[in-house]
Structure 1
Amino acid sequence: MNTVNGHVVSLFSLTPGGQRIARRLRQALPTLSITCYCAEKYLQSDFLPFDGTLKQTVAQRFDCDSALIFVGACGIAVRMIAPLLKDKFTDPAVLVIDEQGQHVISVLSGHIGGANELARTVAGSIGAQPVISTATDVNQTCAFDVLAQQLNAACAQFRVASKTINQLLVSGHDVGIYIDPWLEATLGFEIQQFDIRGLTVVTEQEVGRGELSALIDVSMQHTRPDWPIPSFQLIPKRLVAGIGCRKNIASERLSACFQQQLQHLNIHPLALAAIGSIDHKANEPAIVQLTQQYQVPFKVFSAADLSTCAGRFTQSEFVRQTVGVGCVSQPVAWLLSDGCLLGDPFKQQGITLTYGVIKTCYMS
């Protein structure tokens, strides 16, 4: 979760001094959507009163917001959030700023919640010192969970991998990172663009040599080598799929065809970033169910959108008469992937699937 750009933040000021800090922060960071709360006795026009008590208001906002910021004592913030904590993979970022605006403390969800990043941003905006205590940060190494975010990558064992890799790194163990050559050849993938401090970049031949304690295997492929050391696959979400199909196609048939093609391409299902089709199919039950199954966005395009690149592909007069453009799946995949298609379209029983890969690491 990135809390720095455009996410919802609640700020709790306990005194007039805290309100001054809140105003400075809102003025310095207009891209943050900050709602400021205070006690009713200090209420001013640009603040909302606590809904009952501070504790009740914090509880209401904890599961709704990307971040909570307290201006005041760290102990108060800790007591307010303690009963609400679940785990670092779902809790929001929590920061504490002292009333003089000298320090910004990252209290909770430093990595996944984005508290460390937010603390640095907030501190920089008001001339304060960020206080970061997560072990990987103070030991100046990368963190598995942060690297996964940077790559927009998934991991089937994410919790175990984060704990294992991060503990090895802060304990001084050697951890390797292997980049599938297919990523480099197809996407121009460069791991050096990301934070890999403390990791050793290795080739497949080098994995079994030396003193590596574990391996991060960065690949979209489903079938992986039988690594001789503990390994965790990071799967960049770069696959997109354009779908054309008959009306009311059976969901089971579409799902089966989709899985069949993923297996044929040897692409891991977690690599899927988005599914797309023409706007006529925006409510097609089988496609909607497929996007829910894979938990990815459903992008739809108008016939005019698809016409900008449909001429590159074989046209069907029947399709043109039905939806206004002569083909669907290929131009959809073309637009989703910025022209980087993966293999030929798959056609079977009223279904056409075309896959592509995106070279950017985030699908908006």
Structure 2
Amino acid sequence: MKAVLFSFTRQASLLSLTVQQSFLEEGISCTNYTIKKYAAVPNLLPLPAPLKEVVAEHFQKDTVLIFISACGIAVRSIAPFLKDKTKDPCVLVIDEKGQFVISLLSGHLGGGNLQAEKAASAIGATPVISTATDLNNRFSVDIFAKNNHLAISDRKIAKHISANILDGLPIGMDGILPDGNIPEGLTGTRNSVPPIGFSVSPFYQNKPFKETLFLIPKQIVLGIGCKKNTDIQALREFVNEILEEHSIFPEAIAAIASIDLKKEEPALLALSKELSVPFATYDARTLQKVKGQFTSSEFVRKTTGVDNVCERAALCYSHADSLYLRKTARNGMTIAISLLSFACHF
């Protein structure tokens, strides 16, 4: 995470130094912009371009934008770049007297509410939080998903869950049940089944509620073997068909694993980049030491030095006791799946 500060008056620029220091003390890099005539003070930088251009450069996820100014300046500056709550950074507004810190944008997923509270504490201000679940001290599915690194399957259903919680209606839970005290309004499927709820699962086949929101953990390890210069489109289609056949969310993929002979294989590197997941490789000796029952191939042993690549690589990465899916082969490509252990918490 990084922070970017904007100030436009002398008093605001001086206040920005205190805010900047609070971020730096947390190990967060912080760039502090002001107008040219106030930039002679150490740690204050003159705006290098018109404000909207500088905002455009920094308007990205994992960034905190802080305007020590009127709300209108902040709103007009960020308006052209707004996309949606899953992509927008958090934006804070602080008045130049340092009385209030407003969480203006992306209070939940972008961490704006938390950052507003931290900034307010640093300067002795009052944080201004407007998200309803926070104001009413109710469970927030957005925050729960963010804190546990879960992808949200359907934003519309997530909104319905928040609305039901605020209306005092029960919300069901299923799948990998979280540790900790159950928040008010949530109930497991062992009790009466509400019409709406969430399931923490990498699989979408089972829908325990009439309206089910899936919160998707990254648990799926794809062990892949393939012949040299495999076509990326063929591999992509093979992976997608395996996922669909087993009702697995693509967002649940945590890693790709193979033998080190394939560490420069273009199709595997491309797939790893497309999925934004690590690509791990192991030498034949390491793979051969993996314990378990595997689909052996004498041809693979002669070619690679180990009797099976995809199954052993999947287990080598996940350290699971067994495979979720044994080797499936097609046109010189093989895929096996193992599951990473996962726990979530309220």
Identify whether the pair has TM-score above 0.5, normalized to the shorter chain. Answer: yes
Aligned twin of 2:147: 150
Q: Show CA shifts across 1:270-312 (max 9, x none).
A: 322222334543442332444456x231323353xx7456412
Give the letter aligned to residue 169 of structure 1. I
Using the size of structure 2 for normalisation, the TM-score is 0.81
More displaced stretch, 315-324 vs 148-157: 315-324
Aligned twin of 1:203: 189
Checking the alignment, whether the CA contact within 8 Å between 2:5 and 2:20 is kept in structure 1 is no
Give the letter aligned to residue 315 of structure 2. W
Aligned twin of 1:18: 12
Give the letter aligned to residue 285 of structure 1. P
1:46-125 matched pairs, under 5 angstroms:
46-63=43-60, 66-125=63-122
- Could you tell me which of 32, 37, 46 is aligned with 1:36? 32
SS of alignment partner, residue 241 of structure 1: strand
Checking the alignment, whether the CA contact within 8 Å between 1:38 and 1:50 is kept in structure 2 is yes
Aligned twin of 2:178: 191
1:118-267 matched pairs, under 5 angstroms:
118-157=115-154, 159-177=155-173, 179-180=174-175, 183=176, 190-193=177-180, 197-203=183-189, 206-207=192-193, 212-225=194-207, 227=209, 229-262=210-243, 265-267=246-248
Q: Compared with structure 1, are the counterparts of its residues 255 and 359 closer, same or farther at alpha carbon in structure 2 (3 Å cutoff)?
A: same
Q: Compared with structure 1, are the counterparts of its residues 361 and 93 closer, same or farther at alpha carbon in structure 2 (3 Å cutoff)?
A: farther
Q: How many residues align?
A: 337
**Deviation of 1:126 (Å):** 4.3
- Could you tell me which of 265, 288, 303 is aligned with 1:284? 265
Q: Show CA shifts across 1:13-62 (max 9, x none).
A: 22333333333333333321211101000113422211333344324432
SS of alignment partner, residue 342 of structure 1: coil
Percent of aligned positions that are identical: 37
- Could you tell me which of 313, 324, 335 is aligned with 1:353? 335
Using the size of structure 1 for normalisation, the TM-score is 0.78
Q: Compared with structure 1, are the counterparts of its residues 133 and 312 closer, same or farther at alpha carbon in structure 2 (3 Å cutoff)?
A: same
**Deviation of 1:160 (Å):** 0.8
Give the letter aligned to residue 156 of structure 2. V
CA distance in 2, matches of 1:63, 1:308: 40
* Residue 274 (str. 1) matches residue 255 (str. 2): yes
Q: Compared with structure 1, are the counterparts of its residues 252 and 28 closer, same or farther at alpha carbon in structure 2 (3 Å cutoff)?
A: closer
Q: Compared with structure 1, are the counterparts of its residues 140 and 257 closer, same or farther at alpha carbon in structure 2 (3 Å cutoff)?
A: same
- RMSD over aligned Cα atoms: 3.3
